[in-house]
């Protein structure tokens, strides 16, 4: 039967399938009983014969070729043949389901479905004779290039290696091995048929190279010589080796076995230790080109640099003063970057050393927490932003942010920085509003919008308040107010106090002005952070004084317009100021000698406070305003508690986010993913993550699988 009859059958089959959209038995039966009178056996035999003839022709054409043309043609046929077999099998679907199945059921086991038949013919005719030859050709090309640098087609070699990684190709090769009655199939064709021989060729070639004997005096020459071999072989291997395999690592290890045995490595590292210890930049630069090409030595030298910087500088960072602490780190960074920043690997070593210095130094060891460094850096920023600087602001910001990047507990820095920002803005201690904004922008670039959102809202409130105060002063009175969002400013409300008549009228006036502009809003006055200016004149002197005082000081002094002496108990009754803060107010006024009392050191409720009619001062304007001091230890304790609570919320949010996405996850993997997500924000302890997972299980956000207790499931 001519090949045209096979073509006729296949064409009619595909046309009818396209028209009907189905594989109806009657349609296919009609094809087999067409005028050409094709029978199933004849069709099967002629398909088999045609395929064998086609592949034999390809084999002859491949055998007549040499070099890369043969490999390229072989690779192209391997790629295309598989898809062609599937198409042929689909077209012969009726033949497979009837004639082939009937013969197979009658114990004719040498009959196969058309797709499998085509694959078997390919394995027998093309794969079996050419597979070893093609592999040998590839390895020979690689060896030839290594010897004489002759031109080769890297892309073709990469494609052939890609075949060894293909699962379908590996399956076909194992089937062929099974037919040859081998003891067991190959689990990894790439490793057994390419990698092992490739690495052996590498070892054979480089052991034959004539390399000088290493001595302490010839280290530079030896490194220069072997670094050329490293550079050539690694660059060449990267051009065709698959990234999914570890062949490149094995190759580097093989070179290390040849050129860096224990004795050689010991001689080289002794020299490197001396250079690093002496901080000899010139010698290090001289050896850099050779060292950089040899991974094992460059990593070891980087570790030497890291340990040298940390061990020699840890004693320099032992002062709790924030300015000295930060300046010491800046000086250390400048010094060692100039000495050791020769290549990126050394920069990574310096980064690791600086990270350890900042988070694990004498201060953090003494306090028992790495968060102390974050606190000191925040205090340094606070001091810097309170001072006026003509130049160097941008440079100083960059130095601060360089240190900030190494801080582990960035959430602690955020808390302290935010708290100090509030104090600077409330008491108008910040020198430049633009500098405050610039610093926040730089922090946002590093940590993202969420990190600085509260601080940005605080600055925005100050801008809005300035406009509001200007409008109020323009229309009504000389009065400045800061209207703050209650959810952004960390103020705890104190009990109300009783204002003097003059103050109450002014406060009520602004409140009416604000409510008329913003209906539905409520103002809550924070008197403990307010201040003003008071004019003082006694009956015994004509000189007038202007006193800058807090609101608390103002209402206490206003009482002495009524009479010149009060008991402490009566003052508290008239003002309703908490006794703890009233004592601070009275002490500041007694210290300035505006008020007088026989008992100054330990103020009691029955003590009498008098106005000092003989008060005199050389200054016309006197600043008496002092922020009310709360218990610093309690404040710090409360801040640390809030940090711990915030961390729990952040961890729980990360757990929910991960579980929503995965729905079902192993317990250990969940812990690992949470740590990976939040590690850039603060140092996470595994027990805390586990505690948060248990809390979410108790609150029915998660549950353990009944039959697999280490699997967690998200409850929507």
Instruction: Tell whether 206 is covered by a domain.
Output: no
User: In whole angstroms, what is the distance from residue 547 CA to residue 531 CA?
Assistant: 11
Nearest CA among 637, 642, 629, 631 for reference residue 414: 642
pLDDT for 159 equals: 73
- Give the closest residue to 101 by CA, choosing from 12, 23, 92, 36: 92
Q: Which domain holds residue 221?
A: 216-246+257-367
3-state DSSP assignment of residue 567: strand
153 and 127, same structural domain? yes
249 pLDDT band, cuts 50/70/90, is very high
Q: Which of 597, 629, 661 is at the close of a domain?
A: 629
- 568: in domain: yes
CATH number at residue 681: 1.10.10.10
- Cα–Cα distance list, 352 to 349, 363, 377, 407 (Å): 5, 18, 19, 12
| pLDDT at residue 24 in the model | 41
CATH of the domain at 318: 1.20.1310.10
* Distance in Å from the first CA to the final CA of the chain: 67
Q: How far apart are CA 215 and CA 459, in angstroms?
A: 66
Same domain, yes or no: 325 and 223: yes
Residue 113 tokens read as: 């479905």
Q: What is the chain's length?
A: 716
Comparing 289-298, 458-467, 614-623, the range with the smallest average pLDDT is 614-623
DSSP code at position 347: H
The predicted structure's pLDDT at residue 400: 93
Do 53 and 194 lie in one domain? The reply is: yes
∠ CA(683), CA(689), CA(691), 5° rounding? 135
Is 668 inside any structural domain? Answer: yes
Q: Which residues are registered as beta bridge partners of 549?
A: 532
Residue 247 · residue 199 · CB < 8 Å: yes
What percent of the chain has a predicted confidence (pLDDT) above 90? 17
Please report which residue ranges of 294-370 form alpha helices under DSSP H: 295-313, 322-340, 344-359, 362-367
pLDDT, residue 28, reads: 41
pLDDT above 80 for 123 = no
One domain, residues 54 and 129: yes
pLDDT of residue 94: 79
Determine the angle formed by the axes of helices 371-386 and 410-426, rounding to 10 degrees.
Answer: 30
In angstroms, the CA 716 to CA 713 distance is 10
pLDDT above 60 for 16: no
- From the list 404, 514, 424, the residue with the least C-alpha distance to 469 is 514
End of a domain among 367, 391, 413?
A: 367
Q: Using pLDDT thresholds of 50, 70 and 90, give the confidence band for residue 33.
A: very low
Q: Are 370 and 364 in contact (CB under 8 A)?
A: yes
668 and 536 part of one domain: no
Give, as one character, the DSSP assignment of residue 34: S
Same-domain pairing of 301 and 406: no
Q: Which residues contact 105 (CB under 8 A, 6 or more apart)?
A: none
Residue 165 lies in a domain: yes
Asked whether residue 423 falls in the same domain as residue 454, the answer is: yes
pLDDT value of position 34: 41
pLDDT of 177 > 70? The answer is no
Residue 11 has pLDDT above 90, yes or no: no
Would you say residue 162 lies in a domain? yes
Q: For residue range 660-710, list pLDDT tens digits in order.
A: 988 888 988 999 999 988 888 888 888 889 999 999 988 888 888 888 888
Mean pLDDT of the region 469-487:
76
Whether the model pTM is above 0.85:
no
Mean pLDDT in residue range 151-166? 75
- pLDDT average, residue stretch 285-310: 88
Which tens digit of pLDDT belongs to each residue from 538-553? Answer: 655 567 878 888 888 8
> Which pLDDT does position 5 carry in this prediction?
45
- What whole-number distance in Å separates Cα of residue 371 and Cα of residue 640? 10
- Average pLDDT on 395-407 reads 92
Residues 305 and 430 in one domain: no
Q: What is the CATH number of the domain that holds 545?
A: 3.30.230.130
Note the pLDDT of residue 402. Answer: 92
Contact status, residue 94 vs residue 31, Cβ threshold 8 Å: yes
Using pLDDT thresholds of 50, 70 and 90, give the confidence band for residue 67: low
263 DSSP assignment: H
Q: Which pLDDT value is given to residue 17?
A: 46
Given 629, 658, 673, which residue is the final one in a domain? 629
| Residues contacting 88, CB < 8 A, separation 6+ | 10, 47, 114, 115, 118
Among 426, 423, 460, smallest CA distance to 440 is for: 460
Angle between helix axes 128-148 and 154-165 (nearest 10 degrees) is 140
Handedness of CA 502, 504, 506, 512 (dihedral sign): negative
Please state the rounded mean pLDDT for residues 120-142.
Answer: 76
Q: With respect to residue 657, please indicate whether it lies within any of the assigned structural domains.
A: yes
- Worst-scoring range by mean pLDDT, 39-43, 512-516, 541-545? 541-545
**Cβ atoms of residues 234 and 248 within 8 Å:** yes
Q: Where is average pLDDT lowest: 133-147, 371-385, 410-424, 631-645?
A: 631-645
Residue 482 is assigned to a structural domain of this protein: no
Question: Does the pLDDT of residue 187 top 70, yes or no?
Answer: no
The answer to whether residues 159 and 31 belong to one domain is yes
Label residue 439 by pLDDT band (50, 70, 90). Answer: very high
Q: Are residues 566 and 463 in the same domain?
A: no
Note the pLDDT of residue 252.
93
Tens-digit pLDDT profile for residues 576-627: 888 888 888 888 888 888 888 877 677 888 888 888 887 887 778 888 887 6
Residue, of 695 and 27, whose pLDDT is higher: 695
Please report whether residue 192 resides in a domain.
yes
pLDDT at 537: 64
Task: Quote the pLDDT of residue 114.
Answer: 81
Q: How confident is the model at residue 74 (pLDDT cuts 50, 70, 90)?
A: low
User: Residues 548, 621: contact at Cβ < 8 Å?
Assistant: yes
pLDDT tens by residue, 330-352: 999 999 988 888 777 888 899 99
- CA angle 252-254-257, nearest 5°? 115
Do 561 and 687 lie in one domain? The reply is no
Number of domains into which the chain is organized: 5
Q: 150: which residues sit within 8 A by CB, 6+ positions away?
A: 144
Examine the domain organization and report whether 139 and 67 are in the same domain.
yes
Q: Which of 42-46, 394-398, 507-511 has the highest mean pLDDT?
A: 394-398
């Amino acid at each position: 039967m001519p090949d045209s009859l096979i073509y006729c059958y296949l064409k009619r089959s595909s046309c009818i399938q396209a028209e009907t959209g189905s594989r109806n038995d009657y349609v296919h039966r009609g094809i087999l009983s067409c005028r050409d009178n094709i029978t199933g056996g004849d069709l099967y035999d002629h398909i088999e014969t045609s395929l064998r003839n086609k592949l034999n022709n390809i084999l002859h054409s491949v055998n007549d070729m040499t070099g890369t043309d043969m490999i390229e043609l072989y690779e192209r046929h391997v790629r295309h043949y598989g898809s062609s077999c599937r198409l042929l099998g689909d077209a012969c679907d009726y033949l497979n389901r009837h004639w082939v199945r009937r013969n197979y059921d009658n114990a004719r086991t040498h009959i196969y479905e058309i797709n499998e038949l085509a694959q078997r013919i390919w394995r027998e005719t093309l794969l079996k004779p050419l597979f070893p030859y093609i592999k040998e050709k590839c390895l020979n090309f690689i060896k030839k290039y290594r010897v004489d640098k002759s031109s080769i087609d890297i892309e073709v070699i990469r494609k052939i290696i890609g075949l060894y990684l293909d699962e379908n190709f590996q399956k076909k090769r194992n089937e062929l091995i099974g037919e040859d009655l081998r003891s067991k199939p190959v689990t990894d064709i790439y490793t057994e048929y390419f990698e092992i021989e490739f690495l052996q060729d590498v070892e054979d070639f480089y052991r034959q190279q004539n390399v000088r004997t290493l001595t302490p005096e010839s280290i530079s020459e030896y490194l220069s010589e072997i670094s050329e071999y490293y550079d050539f072989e690694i660059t060449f291997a990267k051009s065709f080796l698959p990234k999914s395999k570890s062949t490149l690592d094995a190759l580097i290890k093989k070179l290390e076995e040849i050129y860096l045995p224990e004795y050689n490595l010991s001689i080289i590292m002794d020299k490197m230790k001396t250079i690093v210890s002496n901080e000899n930049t010139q010698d290090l630069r001289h050896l850099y080109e050779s060292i950089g090409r040899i991974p094992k030595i460059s990593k070891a030298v980087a570790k030497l640099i890291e340990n040298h910087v940390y061990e020699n500088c840890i004693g320099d960072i032992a002062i709790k003063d924030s300015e000295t602490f930060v300046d010491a780190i800046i000086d250390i960074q400048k010094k060692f970057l100039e000495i050791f920043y020769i290549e990126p690997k050394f920069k990574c070593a310096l980064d690791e050393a600086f990270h350890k210095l900042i988070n694990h130094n004498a201060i953090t060891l003494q306090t028992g927490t790495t968060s102390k460094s974050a606190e000191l850096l925040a205090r340094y920023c606070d001091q810097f932003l309170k001072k006026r600087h003509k130049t160097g602001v941008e440079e100083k910001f960059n130095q601060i942010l360089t240190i900030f990047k190494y801080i582990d507990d960035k959430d602690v820095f955020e808390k302290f920085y935010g708290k100090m920002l509030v104090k600077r803005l409330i008491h108008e201690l910040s020198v430049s509003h633009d500098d405050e904004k610039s610093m926040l922008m730089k922090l946002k670039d590093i940590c993202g919008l969420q990190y600085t959102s509260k601080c940005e809202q605080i600055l925005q409130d100050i801008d809005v308040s300035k406009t509001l105060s200007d409008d109020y002063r323009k229309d009504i009175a000389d009065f400045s107010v800061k209207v703050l969002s209650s959810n952004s400013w960390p103020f705890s409300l104190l009990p109300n106090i009783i204002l003097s008549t003059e103050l109450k009228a002014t406060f009520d006036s602004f409140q009416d002005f604000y409510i008329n502009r913003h209906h539905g809003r409520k103002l809550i006055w924070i008197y403990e952070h307010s201040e003003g200016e008071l004019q003082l004149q006694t009956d015994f002197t004509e000189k007038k004084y202007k006193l800058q005082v807090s609101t608390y000081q103002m209402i206490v002094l206003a009482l002495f317009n009524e009479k010149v002496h009060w008991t402490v108990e009566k003052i508290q009754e008239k003002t309703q100021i908490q006794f703890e803060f009233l004592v601070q107010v009275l002490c500041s006024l007694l210290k300035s000698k505006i008020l007088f009392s026989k008992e100054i050191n330990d103020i009691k409720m029955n003590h009498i406070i008098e106005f000092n009619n003989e008060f005199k001062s050389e200054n016309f304007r006197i600043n008496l305003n002092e922020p009310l001091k709360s218990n610093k230890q309690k404040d710090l304790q409360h801040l640390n508690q809030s940090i711990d609570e915030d961390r729990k919320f952040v961890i729980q949010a990360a757990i929910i986010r991960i579980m929503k996405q995965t729905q079902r996850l192993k317990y250990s993997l969940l812990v690992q993913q949470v740590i990976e997500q939040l590690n850039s924000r603060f140092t996470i302890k595994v027990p805390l993550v586990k505690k948060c997972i248990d809390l979410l299980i108790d609150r029915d956000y998660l549950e353990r699988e009944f039959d697999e207790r280490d699997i967690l499931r998200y409850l929507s």
